[in-house]
Amino acid sequence: MPNYLTLTFEHFMPTQITLRILPKNFNDSYIKTAIAKQIDLSKIDFFEYSILKKSTDARQLPIKYQLSILVHTNESISSYVKNDKKYAKVDKKKKVHIIGAGPAGLFAALKVIEKGCKPIVYERGRNVKDRRRDLAQLTKKHIVNPESNYCFGEGGAGTYSDGKLYTRSKKRGSVTEILNTFVAFGADENILYEAHPHIGTNKLPSIISAITNKIIECGGEVLFNSKLKDIYIKENKIEALLLNNERVEVDNVILATGHSARDVYEMFYAKGLALDYKQFAVGVRIEHPQTLIDKIQYRCESRGEFLEPAAYQLVAQVEGGKFKKKRGVYSFCMCPGGIIAPCATNQEEVVTNGWSPSKRNNKYANSGIVVSIEDDDLRKFSKFGPLAGMKFQASLERKAWEMAGKTQVAPAQRMIDFIENRKSETLPENSYMAGVKSVNLNEVFPESIAHYLRNGLLAFGKKKKGYLTNEAILVGVETRSSAPVRIPRDKETLEHIEVAGLYPCAEGAGYAGGIVSAAIDGMRCAEKIVEKMAIT
C-alpha cells in the first residue's frame, strides 16, 4: 500500500498514534484521512506514515483492526532504510562450513558473508525447482525421495512450510533483522507490521532461491546433493567431514541439519558423542471447514470479503485418569485456508504437517493437535538412551503407514468418532492430497496418548462452541513438531561440549523451533565462529 501524503509544514518529530478501523477501511486513503484528524496540520508541511503493528481485535463486534502508526512530519519515509545490509565479495576469505541449507544454514551463511568470511553450505537435498517435482511424486505416486521432500532440500523444511513468522523469541532486534532480510529477498513488507506475519508456501521458494543466489553471487558456495555422512575428530576438535564419499578438511562447522535428520543423530550416537533426550509432543492434524472456524472466531455467519480467514490457538491441561498425571494438549502450527501435507522423509512412514498459500484461500483450516510426551511413554524404547524419543516417533509414523495401507495414504477419522473410539463409516472431503483411509486412530497411539488427545479435544470443544464436530477430520500422525534430541553445546561458545569447532545449531540440535528462531540461532553460531576466528 502506498504510504505518503504531501501537505506543507515545518515540524519534525515522528509521532506514534493508534487507529482502530473496520477491516473494509484498511486502505491508504482512509488511513491518511484518519491520521489527519489526529494531528495538528497547521504546524507541518507534509506527513508520511508507516505502520508499526497491525492486529485484529475480535473481542467485540464489530471486529476492528488496531493499527499502531508512526507519523513522520516534514520528513520522507524513504530515509528510514529497512534493510541496509551489505554483502561484499568473500570468495578469497576464510571459510566457514555449514551443513544444511534450512533457515538456520542460509541465515548463518548470510551472516558469515556480512562478517567478511566465505560460507560453504552442504545440503543433502535438491534445489527448490527439482524438489517441487519430488513433492509431486510424493503426493501423486507415493514415492518418497529420502533426500528431497518436504523436510530436505534447498531452504530445508522452511521452503514448502506455511511461512508463519511469529516466534516466542524475546530477541526483538534479531527478529526484526530476520523479517527485514526476508523483505530484502522478496517477501511482502506487511510481514514487518502484521502481529502474525505470514509469507505463504507459494511465495517462499523464490525468496529462498534469492537468498541462495546472493550467497553464490558473493563468492560463497551452496552445494546440493551433498550429504554429511561422517565427522572426524582429532584431540577433541573437529578435523574433517565425510561429504558423500569425499573427505573435506575443516576448522569450524555449523551443524544445522534439522529435526528430521535421524541419520545424523544415529551417527553421533554410534560415535559415542554426547546427546540428550529432549521433550517433544505428538498427535494428529485436525481439519475443519474454514467457514466454521470463521463463524466460531468471528461470531458471525460469514467473515465477508475484508477479514482474513480466522485462526485459533488452543491449549488445555488434561486430567490423567488412570494415567494419573495431568498433561498439556495444545494446537500447533495452525494454517487457516490451508492444506495438510505429507511430510515423510522415508518410504515406510506417514507424517503430517500443514501449509497455506499467502492468500490463505483454501476451503479448510488445519492445525496440529499434540500432547507432550513423558518418560512413561518411552519405557519400551529406553534401551536407545538419548534416542528413545526419536525411536518412539519413528514407531508411530511406521504404524500410521502400516494401518493406512503402506503408501502415503494417511490414517484418518472423524473427530467425534475418535472421541467415541469408533472407526468412521465415511470420511469428509479434506485437503490431504495423498488420500486418507478410515482407521481408528486410537489404535495408532499408545492408550495414554489417545486418552490425552481425546480429552484435549473435548476440552477444546467446551472452550469453542462448534469446534467439536464430526465435520472435522483428524489425519495422522503429527510427530515432527520439534526435535526429540538435543545435541548439547557450551552456553558461551556454542560449540559441542566435547568437540571444539563443531557448532550444533537450531531446530535439529534442540535450540530452536520454527523458521525465525532457527534463523536467529544460525546467525548466532555464525557470529561466534567469526569472533573466534578473529581472535585466533
Which residues bind to ligand FAD, rule: CB under 6 A? 99-105, 122-125, 150-153, 156-158, 161-164, 227-228, 256-258, 261, 264, 333, 341, 343, 353, 355, 506-508, 512, 514-515, 518
Cβ–Cβ < 8 Å for 67, 5: no
Supply the minimum distance, in Å, between the C-beta of residue 198 and ligand FAD: 7
Residue whose CB is less far from ligand FAD, 119 or 156: 156
Its sign, for the CA torsion 465, 473, 337, 193, is positive
Measured between alpha carbons, how far is residue 378 from residues 20, 193, 279, 386, 400 in Å? 50, 43, 11, 11, 18
| Among 87, 120, 121, CA closest to 101 | 121
Q: How far is the CB of 121 from ligand FAD (least distance, A)?
A: 9
| 208 vs 316 by CB, closer to ligand FAD | 208
Task: Output the smallest distance, CB 492 to ligand FAD, in A.
Answer: 21
Burial annotation 235-272 (CB, 10 A radius, 16+ → b, else e): eeebebbebeeeebebbbbbbbbbbbbbebbebbbeee
First to last CA, the chain: 49
Strand partners, 486: 276
CB of 521 to ligand FAD, least distance (A): 7
Considering beta carbons, is residue 19 or 351 the nearer one to ligand FAD? 351
At which residue does the C-alpha cell 485456508 appear? Answer: 337
Instruction: Output the smallest distance, CB 62 to ligand FAD, in A.
Output: 29
Of 442 and 479, the one with the shorter C-beta distance to ligand FAD is 479
Residue 164 or 303: the one with the smaller Cβ distance to ligand FAD is: 164
Sheet holding 221-223, edge to edge: 221-223, 118-122, 95-99, 253-255, 502-504
Q: Closer to ligand FAD at the Cβ: 150 or 432?
A: 150
How far apart are CB 512 and ligand FAD at their closest, in Å? 6
Q: Which is nearer to ligand FAD, 35 or 286 (CB)?
A: 286
For the bound state, the minimum distance from the C-beta of residue 345 to ligand FAD, rounded and expressed in Å, comes to: 9
- What is the smallest separation between the CB atom of 472 and ligand FAD, expressed in angstroms? 20
Report CA torsion sign: 112, 117, 118, 123: negative
Q: Are 169 and 175 in contact (CB under 8 A)?
A: yes
Residue 49 grid coordinates: 506514515
**Beta bridge partner(s), residue 88:** none
Other beta carbons within 10 Å of 534 = 11
Closer to ligand FAD by Cβ: residue 290 or 455: 290
